[in-house]
Chains A and B, each alone.
Chain A
Amino acid sequence: MAELARLLLSPKRLVILIMAAVINLALFSGYCRDKQEQSIAKYSTGMQSAASAKSRENQKLQQYLEKDYPDYLKYVEEQAAAQSILSGLTKQSGFIDRNLKKTAADYSRLEGITLTAGESRGTLAVADYPITDYLLLIAPILLVLELLADADSAAGDLTRSTRQGRVPLCAWRIAAVALNAAASVLLLYGGNILYTCIFYGDPGLTRALQSIPEYQVCVHRITVGGYLLAAGCLKTLAAVILALLIWLVLSRFHVILGWLISGIWIGASFLLFRLIVPTAGVNHLKFLNVFAALDADIFFTQYCNLNWFGYPAGFLLNTLVFCIILLTVAVLLCLLRIGHAYPAKTGEKLADLSDRLHRFLTRHLPVHSLFGMEGWKLMIAQKGLFVLLAAGVMGFSLWKEIHVYVPVNSDTERFYSQYSGEVTKENIERTAYIVIGEMKSLKNAKVALAKAYLRKAAPRDIDRIKQGIMKSESELYLYKNLLNTMLMLAKYTRETGRPAWFIQQNAYMIFFQDSAAEHRCSMVLLLWMIFTFSGIAAYDNRYDTAMLLRSTRNGRAGLLTAKAGWILLLTLIASFGLHGVYLAHFFTDAEFAMLDAPAQSLALFRDLPFSVSMRGILIGYLFVRYLIALVIAAGIYAVSRFSRTPEKARMTAMVIFLLPSALAESGIEQLQMLNCVGLLSFPIA
């Protein structure tokens, strides 16, 4: 019990859990806000109001609840019956026949289910967001790594020499891993649910899960709350199994071989789960898989039976049985091999392999300069390369998730395609003619309406004329605006001598505005900076090398310059890369008009006292964001400089830079002043 308390209530463990929750909240809140902004932008792109689109959605949902879902159940039953007759006629038996009967029986249990409309976006966001699934593995795996380090230390020898220091101690440690995983799921996954309740509103936890159209195929009589609870339990189970197996493998093999085995097993399981379709012949490999339990959502959004010697068995049941067997085996093996057996002797040959690798790297990597050696410290010794790689993967994932919607009006687009560019007298005159034309046609339409009233025309004709008037009015308003813009630009050019072109501004204005998508990129950048630069000086502090380094010729200014060089270089790559993810979408999803146009073409930059193209402005904007990132990186360096170890520096940096940002991003307005993510995004429109 004392061991349980020591492991679970240690400040370090609590801090890890809280920090994982903060990181998760920061990323998840960005995801939710981005989703919402995307759907609003999607509505406005089609030139329809968000309210009307929402009402159409509600109509669709009502139709699903009242008609589509009962029809679906009926359809499944009919199909099952028909297919069953067919298979009987073709003398097919075995799995197909039994599967049809089981499917019909499974769905027949759902008859009479009461569906209720409600807020479903939160539940869907919780189910769709995959990063939480991986983040919740961090705490139990870190605990396992700590237990491994403990076993290798003198404390390990000491505890093993006591009466309760072997199997009983191991049992308590297994319990600690399980509780830690449960706490992790509760904090992270539970945090997501809580956040969506606040952000989207009441998710209607007591409704039948099938009330959400995305869960139409679910065969379980379960409420939304029950589904969230079941998914949480499955995720906990998966996290415990993964952590215990990693512990087992790493404690019995050399660290390199251990990670190799764990990596291959985890990678293969992940790929098998992702790549195999549920109805494939080898779907056993997909569902007898710990990642199926970690995902959990699949059991409620799909329906599938596994073929066991001609007999169908539900996929959820299969996964559950598999996971329980795996958990039992893992627990028993941990007790026998870690608790009971003597500590493993790790392979000498692999240690030799590690030496050879170092010899090879020393010979072939050109790191003799101070700059190179500092890079070695940062990227290899402190695993900065992995952090950069992780940021790259997250950047790629953001690239996949982010979409940019720019409102499009065909009339305006047509006009811009003709008149974009320098504002000429000819273009102004032609636009003025269009405006005059529109005014004339509006006047004519109004006269026609008056005449129609006089001659008591049919209401249908009057309505048609009224619609024509409305269209003319809106077109006149549009062209008048465009003409005014042209005149204003011409006046500006005349008065200041600086050119200002007539260009489509929508994409630019959206890019320079505050957006959740850009905040998501900035959040990843902030996380990357904290994880990379926290150790830059604290690593030296951990080994008490300050005096040794300062006693050398280049150990002062030279060392600082080398460290600063790496901060400048890596921040440049990460800042341009991650901010570039959002920018790049303006070249793929939308289009920046006339990148060669002078910046003054945009009202936003009209006061600029120098001439620069829009392309230059975009590069300059990224550069300003880079400078802001550098300021934050310098702050993280300062934290690192005064921290005893990289871990402490990381924690402190998270409290100073990440925590207020995450809370501010989650909607706490009072913390906006301390929001580094907002600062990194630097919206100017």
Chain B
Amino acid sequence: MANKLEIIQLSKQYGDFWALSNVSFTLEPGVTGLLGANGAGKSTLMKLMTDHMPRTSGQILWNGTDIVKLGRKWRELVGYTPQLQGVYDDFTAKRFLYYMGALKGMKRKDIKEQTEQMLEAVNLSHAAHKKIGTYSGGMRQRVLLASSMLGRPQVLILDEPTAGLDPEERIRIRNDIAELAQDRIVLLATHVVSDIACIAKNVLLIRGGKLIAFDTPQGMLANAEGKIGEFSGTYGEIRLLQEQYPNGEIAQRRSGFVLRVAADPLPEGCVPVYDNLTLEDVCHLYLKGDRQYG
């Protein structure tokens, strides 16, 4: 039977502010993309899923058992990559992985073996004995990814693992994640929508602490049909139109300039687009007005 992680009516309140409100969904093996603007509640959701903070209400069940009840056993099953690149500058990559292995309670032999494998997997074997302080942002991110994979966890929670990476490194890490997700649950939070579009089996959209949508990328795209459209005109005309639709995105086509707008219903004069719809458009549709996607 496949593993299952159920989030049921999960809420978190800070004072009067609800960071997360009655969120429910179920994760199964494969990549699930988590999209939302800054402050939408993504990090709070991840903190609750790693049992880093107490929840206000709701449940998180791993194959039917609450993760708080599972305690250390749950943390044995989880691999986590934080957003802030929390790695020690004075450590070498190898020592850092040994350290994480020790924290995960792995056996010495396994730590040694898996450290070599993970460094190889994230292409860091050549720099294994260099101090992390000398690494680029991408290399640090790969160290963190390697550390989250140590101990072969069943659930991987990755908070913006491709932030600050160059395109080549991003593609490489994206492929690694897709590979990992074959037999485990991967929750991938990111601002880079194209990362999710390529590898996600499901997408979670969060706004203001509420779950807006939880579907497959195809389902979301189908749902957005008829709600994405474009105005055409000269640059001056398009600029004038953008004052009316500040969430619209200016693009240049062979025919001239267009303003791509996501709205339900579409405004008058806006021609619906049915081809080349992207998850970016879906985000514009659902998350418009939020800081990141505004």
Contact = CB atoms under 8 A, between A and B. Distances in A.
Given A367-B98, A551-B157, 15 more contacts: A354-B131, A358-B131, A362-B92, A362-B94, A362-B129, A369-B102, A370-B103, A373-B102, A376-B95, A548-B80, A550-B50, A551-B75, A552-B75, A554-B105, A558-B105
Nearest to B106: A553
A554 B88 contact: no
B91 to A, nearest CB: 7
Interface string A529-573: 000000000010001111111111111001100000000000000
Contacts of B253: none
B90 A368 contact: no
Given A362-B129, A368-B98, A548-B80, A553 B105 contact: yes
Contact of A543 (B89, B111, B157): B89
Given A368-B111, A550-B50, A551-B52, A362 B95 contact: yes
Nearest to A357: B129
A381 interface: yes
B47 interface: yes
List 4 A-B pairs, minimum CB-CB distance, nearest first.
Answer: A551-B80, A381-B90, A545-B86, A552-B103
Contact of A553 (B92, B103, B112, B131): B103
Interface string B194-214: 000000000000000000000
A547 B82 contact: yes
A367 B101 CA distance: 12
Q: Specify which of A362, A547, A552 lies most central, judged by the most chain B CB atoms within 10 Å of its CB.
A: A552
Interface SS majority for chain B: mixed
A422 B89 CA distance: 64
Q: Specify which of B76, B80, B99, B111 lies most central, judged by the most chain A CB atoms within 10 Å of its CB.
A: B99
A359 interface: yes
Interface in B56-86: 72, 75-76, 78, 80-82, 84-86
A543 B87 contact: yes
29 contacts: A356-B129, A359-B129, A367-B95, A368-B111, A370-B102, A370-B103, A373-B102, A377-B88, A377-B99, A380-B90, A381-B90, A539-B88, A543-B86, A545-B82, A545-B86, A547-B50, A547-B82, A547-B86, A548-B80, A550-B51, A551-B75, A551-B80, A552-B100, A552-B105, A553-B72, A553-B103, A553-B104, A554-B102, A554-B103
A461 interface: no
Contacts of A362: 92, 94-95, 98, 129
B191 interface: no
B109 to A, nearest CB: 9
Interface in B99-125: 99-105, 108, 111-112
Contacts of A377: 88, 99
Contacts of B105: 552-554, 558
B63 to A, nearest CB: 18
A355 interface: yes
A415 to B, nearest CB: 63
Given A373-B99, A543-B87, A548-B80, A555 B75 contact: yes
Nearest to B96: A373
B4 interface: no
Contact of A355 (B51, B76, B103, B129): B129
A554 B130 contact: no
Nearest to A355: B129
A362 B101 CA distance: 14
Contacts of B81: 548
Contact of B103 (A539, A546, A555): A555
A554 B104 contact: yes
B92 A544 contact: no
B108 A368 contact: yes
Contacts of B52: 547, 550-551
B129 A358 contact: yes
A553 B50 contact: no
Contacts of A373: 95, 98-99, 102
Nearest to A365: B95
A18 to B, nearest CB: 28
A547 B103 contact: no
Contacts of B111: 368
A314 B51 CA distance: 74
Contacts of B51: 550-551
Contacts of A355: 129-130
A359 B126 CA distance: 12
Contacts of B104: 552-554
A381 B103 contact: no
Interface in A358-407: 358-359, 362, 367-370, 372-373, 376-377, 380-382
Nearest to A383: B90
Given A355-B130, A368-B111, A376-B95, A543 B88 contact: yes
A355 B129 CA distance: 5
Interface string B117-143: 000000000000111000000000000
Interface string A316-356: 00000000000000000000000000000000000000111
A544 B103 contact: no
B75 A544 contact: no
Given A381-B88, A544-B86, A551 B78 contact: yes
Contacts of B50: 547, 550-551
Q: Specify which of A381, A545, A551 lies most central, judged by the most chain B CB atoms within 10 Å of its CB.
A: A551
B103 A549 contact: yes
A544 B140 CA distance: 14
A369 B108 CA distance: 8
Contact of B91 (A356, A381, A551, A559): A381
A544 B102 contact: no
A553 B75 contact: yes
Contacts of A358: 92, 95, 129-131
Contacts of A372: 102
A545 B87 contact: yes
Nearest to A555: B103
A89 B194 CA distance: 102
Q: Specify which of B47, B80, B129, B144 lies most central, judged by the most chain A CB atoms within 10 Å of its CB.
A: B129
